């Protein structure tokens, strides 16, 4: 890595190639961080435990448990630390001897996000802090997106970057709907609301109450227990998450049919795959591997949509 930092001036083309490769490596490491982090968080929560769902969310009772440094946690820290060092090198190459835009902007944002997540880690020991858990999940997804955008920007610095796709209402609407669906999914996990709706496509609920629904969306809530099957607030989150995902699929599917672009077809196909993983997760009683795969696939999907937004 020191060779990358101290390398003589290779010309703009050589710098861009270095930046692109660094960004792609960081993106791959970020995907690994997202996967391992999801496994650690969900395993600690008791997802897929023997006495399901009674055993789920016991970590919310009492004091936070001591961290156990097993292979998964060590892998998480190794991947995250390596990604941080490579990102520092990438920012250096983006800024010296003169800034390469727009790659430098995305690289700096990526480094800022990594540092923010590192600071957030000091508050992550207590799972009852729903907002902290939510920011950790969303931040991990942001690492994948920003590193991928840096790689794309490094490849586009030689020529004019076209952003006609951003003006397409189907793409803009699909991107917004997908973002909301992903945020709701992250909030579902952070608030331990997974068991609230174990049925498809709708949820079984005794009585829906607006105060419970609003409380479920409260970002400052402190968790005391996981949502039980039929919980009004948890059901609201599930239905919103599924509804926005379906609307996003309609928008991105319409874009794929109308434009015929390969990337648009890939985005629509990946979204369908993410939804199928979600269906399989619920049908399996929230199998740990399927839920982790659902989250990782969502991170990759956001990167594909970011590609569309640059076209």
pLDDT at 185: 96
Q: What would the pLDDT profile of 102-115 be if each residue is shown by its tens digit?
A: 888 999 999 999 99
Residue 153 and residue 5 share a domain: yes
The pLDDT score that the predictor gives to residue 2 is: 46
Angle among Cα 187, 189, 190 to the nearest 5 degrees reads 65
Confidence band for 168, pLDDT divided at 50, 70 and 90: confident
Q: 155 falls in which pLDDT band (50, 70, 90)?
A: confident
113, 139, 161 - which closes a domain: 161
- Tokens representing 258? 């109308």
Question: Could you tell me if 280 and 307 lie in one domain?
Answer: yes
43 and 150 in a single domain? The answer is: yes
Q: What does pTM read for this prediction?
A: 0.88
How many other CB atoms are found less than 10 A from the CB of residue 169?
10
Same domain for 14 and 135, yes or no, is yes
- What is the mean predicted confidence (pLDDT) over 146-175? 75
What is d(CA 248, CA 268) in angstroms, rounded to the nearest whole number? Answer: 9
d(Cα 302, Cα 164) in Å, to the nearest integer?
Answer: 18
- State whether 186 and 267 are in the same domain: yes
The mean of the pLDDT values for the chain is 86
DSSP string covering 48-83: T-TTTTTTTTGGGSSSPPPP---HHHHHHHHHHHHH
pLDDT value for 101: 85
* pLDDT of res. 109: 95
Share of the chain above pLDDT 90, in %: 55
With 70 as the cut, is the pLDDT of residue 5 above it?
no
CB count within 10 Å of CB 111 equals 17
- Does residue 91 sit in the same domain as residue 23? yes
Q: How does DSSP classify residue 87? A: H
pLDDT confidence band for 285 (50 / 70 / 90): confident
My answer on whether 180 and 240 are in the same domain is yes
Query: Could you tell me if 150 and 284 lie in one domain?
Result: no
Q: How far, CA to CA in Å, does 119 sit from each of 63, 64, 122, 138?
A: 21, 19, 6, 15
Q: 191 is written with which tokens? A: 């608030």
pLDDT at position 217 is: 87
What are the CA-CA distances from residue 295 to residues 96, 174, 277 (Å)? 36, 19, 9
Distances (CA, A) of 4 to 9, 82, 106, 201: 10, 14, 19, 51
CB 175 within 8 A of CB 271: no
3-state helix, strand, coil in the chain (%, to 5): 70, 0, 25
- Count how many domains the chain has: 2
Looking at the structure, tell me whether residues 9 and 80 fall in a common domain: yes
Label residue 63 by pLDDT band (50, 70, 90): low
58 plus 179 within the same structural domain: no
**Domain finish residue from 105, 138, 161:** 161
DSSP 201: S
Residue 165's pLDDT is 46
Pick the closest to residue 49 from 294, 278, 288, 280 (CA basis).
288
Residue 249 contacts residue 237 (beta carbons within 8 Å): no
For the stretch 42-52, pLDDT in tens is 988 888 777 77
Domain range for 88: 1-161
């Amino acid at each position: 890595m020191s060779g990358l930092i101290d390398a003589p001036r290779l010309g703009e083309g050589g710098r861009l190639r270095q930046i692109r490769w660094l960004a792609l490596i960081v993106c791959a490491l970020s995907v690994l961080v997202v996967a391992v982090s999801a496994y650690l968080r969900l395993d600690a929560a008791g997802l897929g435990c023997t006495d399901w769902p009674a055993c789920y969310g016991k970590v919310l009772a009492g004091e936070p448990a001591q961290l156990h440094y097993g292979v998964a946690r060590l892998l998480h820290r190794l991947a995250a630390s390596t990604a941080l060092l490579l990102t520092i090198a990438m920012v250096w190459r983006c800024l010296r001897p003169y800034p390469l835009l727009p790659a430098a902007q995305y690289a700096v944002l990526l480094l800022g996000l990594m540092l923010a997540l590192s600071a957030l880690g000091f508050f992550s020991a207590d799972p009852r802090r729903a907002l902290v858990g939510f920011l950790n999940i969303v931040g991990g997804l942001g690492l994948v997106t920003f590193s991928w955008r840096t790689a794309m920007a490094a490849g586009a610095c030689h020529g004019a970057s076209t952003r006609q796709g951003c003006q397409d209402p189907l793409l803009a609407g699909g991107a917004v709907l997908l973002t909301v669906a992903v945020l709701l999914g992250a909030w579902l996990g952070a608030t331990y609301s997974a068991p609230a709706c174990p049925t498809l496509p709708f949820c079984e609920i005794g009585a829906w109450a607006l105060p419970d629904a609003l409380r479920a969306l409260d970002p400052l809530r402190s968790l005391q227990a996981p949502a039980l099957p039929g919980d009004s607030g948890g059901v609201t989150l599930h239905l919103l998450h599924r509804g926005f995902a379906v609307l996003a699929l309609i928008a991105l599917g319409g874009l794929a049919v109308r434009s015929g672009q390969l990337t648009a077809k890939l985005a629509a196909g990946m979204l369908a795959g993410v939804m199928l993983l979600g269906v399989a997760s619920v049908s399996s009683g929230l199998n740990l591997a399927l839920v982790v795969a659902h989250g990782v696939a969502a991170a990759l999907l956001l990167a594909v949509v970011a590609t569309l937004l640059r076209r």
